[in-house]
Amino acid sequence: MKQAEPISKDRVPFNYNLVLIGFMGAGKSTVSDYFHTQFGMEVIEMDQIIAEREDMSISDIFETRGEEYFRDCETALLIEMQARKNVIISCGGGVPMRERNVAEMKKNGRVILLSVEPETVLTRLEDDHSRPLLENNKNVDFVRALMEKRRDKYEAAADIIVRTDHRSVQEICEEILSKLRAMDGESE
């Protein structure tokens, strides 16, 4: 397979934030890591930051403080990120469900929706136990139903949409870059 040209960190090709949205298991963290490696972009992994600040796992936050509290943490973090430039924000899967959150992401970021099929989610997260919404719900019917419930909001929030099933992270990121360039009017 063709290898990506290593790009030096001072050539980050955009001056806005990249905001990755999509269902659990869509590949947001993997894509973020790739952009970090290629461009030295700082990764804002929302779940990780919230868990660190609250000093407990996402599952424990859901259990002891409730989902609404967690959702408020997400909104606060997104607002905080408005002061940042050139970071890549890996959003938790539920973030675009709040209208306010979508407005915040769009202030200085391009929103990239990573799409994924339910079967792929289940394969990718087979051994994962960190997502409270999926614990005891790891079946195609549940995942498909939750995805369908979220689809309109995901798509409305997105500036670009990139499919991730059966593709390498390099292919996915090349498509993201080319769509961003097209959006920025720098067509090659």
- Contacts to ligand S3P by CB under 6 A: 24, 28, 47, 58, 92-94, 131-133
Q: Which is nearer to ligand S3P, 4 or 133 (CB)?
A: 133
Kind of pairing, strands 109-115 and 87-90? unpaired
Shortest distance in whole angstroms from residue 93 CB to ligand S3P: 3
Q: Which is nearer to ligand S3P, 110 or 153 (CB)?
A: 153
Q: Which long-range contacts (CB under 8 A, 24 or more apart) does 5-8 make?
A: 6/38, 7/38, 7/39
C-alpha span between 66 and 102 (Å, rounded): 22
Shortest distance in whole angstroms from residue 31 CB to ligand S3P: 12
Single-letter code of the amino acid located at 136: N
Whole-Å CA distances, 91 to 48, 98, 139, 140, 157: 10, 12, 23, 23, 12
Shortest distance in whole angstroms from residue 88 CB to ligand S3P: 13
Q: Which is nearer to ligand S3P, 94 or 109 (CB)?
A: 94
Shortest distance in whole angstroms from residue 184 CB to ligand S3P: 27
